[in-house]
Amino acid sequence: MSDNNLHNYPDRDGFFGEYGGQFIPEHLIKIMNDIRDSYFEIRRRKDFQEELEKLNKYYVGRPSPIYHAEKLSAKYGGAQIYLKREDLNHTGAHKINHCLGEALLAKFMGKKKVIAETGAGQHGVALATACALVGIKCEIHMGVIDIEKEHPNVVKMKVLGATVVPVTRGTQTLKDAVDSAFEVLLEDPENNFYAIGSVVGPHPFPMMVRDFQSIVGKEARVQFKEMTGGLPDYVLACVGGGSNAIGLFSGFLNDKEVKLIGVEPAGYGLHTEKHAATMTKGTKGMIHGFKCYLLQDEKGNPLPVHSVASGLDYPGVGPQHCMLKDIERAEYVSATDKECLDMFMELSRLEGIIPALESSHAIAYAVKLAATLPKDKKLLVNLSGRGDKDVDYVASVLGVK
């Protein structure tokens, strides 16, 4: 790695080291490069920057606060745990950060319809919201298993005016929803815009979604200094595709003393086949038009994956994370379904904050790590979303009366 400034990625062709790129047919490369060029154009424009800034402040409610979880920290007796409250954003998660950007870009490009996949339904709701605001049609593809699990989000999308397309093929979850949405994009690429829901897919999406999410890290760095007089010792976030993690990491990439930790879903355990711990157990491969670590069979087909958190249920992972792992700038660990569910209840009852099942993975690992550290160390965890969408499911699994 010749370049010490980690902000100088991806390269011209969309590579983070050897990961990322555009492994897609010729005609799709043109579509992606149109999006890239338009993105570079609006990014430079003052009116776009001002529009996005205004919406972030008055519509999303940014900056989201950082909260010192003192009771949680005290209970585990070690380092201090701070939460970046992305759950307090309009629509209840970090996803609105990139959805607003994508919807504005689609409108600027003169597109007629925005298409996307969704897992937990959070991307779907955030995108349907952004499309309602911007005034553009929205079509969301969703696996039927997720539709059942995340019923309230499905209703919200419909209320917001989006069309929800149930996906019944394959594992009927996130990966198949991506395939289904991609097919519709190809039917009319001139008028359709595919808004990818994480830092995955072909260039420019891992870069573009990262840029829109980097507001989380930029804010957090300033806020943390104001609150504590210094930087956190550890910065943690859950990793599905990796957008909330890279958003927060972006604020600290060049602060070598800050350790970056991504927490993956270990499902029933890493010794089973029911997990989605791509960084930990995957090998280099190709999915949805880009190169990354991948949970795959001998033929290179993505394996079925499992997590109690629908939003983490993806066999690939963002290319920038793959690079950060290889150069050892970030470390990737995991938390099981059980640890996640326990933390869901723990944070709810200790702090009065119901976390998303996705975010609970990061907090579960943070608490274990904190217990091994002295009291003056500080951990900043991305609370990527609120758990309202998950309460019925958790209550039924844990038998909450």
Ligand X SMILES: *Cc1c(COP(=O)(O)O)cnc(C)c1O
Catalytic residues: 95, 117, 384
Among 39, 187, 192, 32, which residue's Cα sits nearest to residue 110?
192
Touching ligand X, residues 28-67 (CB under 6 A):
none
Q: Are 83 and 233 in contact (CB under 8 A)?
A: no
CA atoms of 291 and 299, how far apart (whole Å): 15
Q: What is the Cα–Cα distance from 91 to 83, expressed in whole angstroms?
A: 18
Instruction: Report in angstroms how near the CB of residue 263 gets to ligand X at its nearest.
Output: 10
| Residue 381: CB minimum distance to ligand X, A | 12
Assess 311 for contact with ligand X (CB under 6 A): yes
Taking residue 151's Cβ as centre, other Cβ atoms within 10 Å add up to 14
**295 is a site residue for ligand X (CB under 6 A):** no
> Quick check: 180 binds ligand X (CB under 6 A)?
no
Binding of ligand X at residue 175 (CB under 6 A)?
no
| Residue 239 in contact with ligand X, rule: CB under 6 A | yes
For ligand X, the binding residue among 93, 127, 322, 394 (CB under 6 A) is 93
User: Would you count residue 97 as binding ligand X (CB under 6 A)?
Assistant: no
User: Are 324 and 10 a contacting pair, CB within 8 Å?
Assistant: no
Residue nearest to ligand X (CB): 385
Q: Which of 235, 385, 393, 394 binds ligand X (CB under 6 A)?
A: 385
Task: Report if residue 95 touches ligand X, rule: CB under 6 A.
Answer: yes
Measured from the CB atom, is 55 or 93 closer to ligand X? 93
Which two tokens mark 274? 């029911």
Q: Are 6 and 254 in contact (CB under 8 A)?
A: yes
3-state SS class at 375? coil
Interface characters, 244-263, with ligand X (x: CB under 6 A): xx------------------
Stretch that binds ligand X, among 60-68, 131-139, 235-243, 370-378 (CB under 6 A): 235-243
3-state secondary structure 281-349: HCEEEEECCEEEEECECCCCCECCCCCCCHHHCCCCCCHHHHHHHHCCCEEEEEEEHHHHHHHHHHHHH
Is residue 315 involved in binding ligand X (CB under 6 A)?
no
Task: List residues near ligand X by CB under 6 A.
Answer: 93, 95, 120, 122-123, 198, 238-245, 311-312, 356, 358-359, 384-385
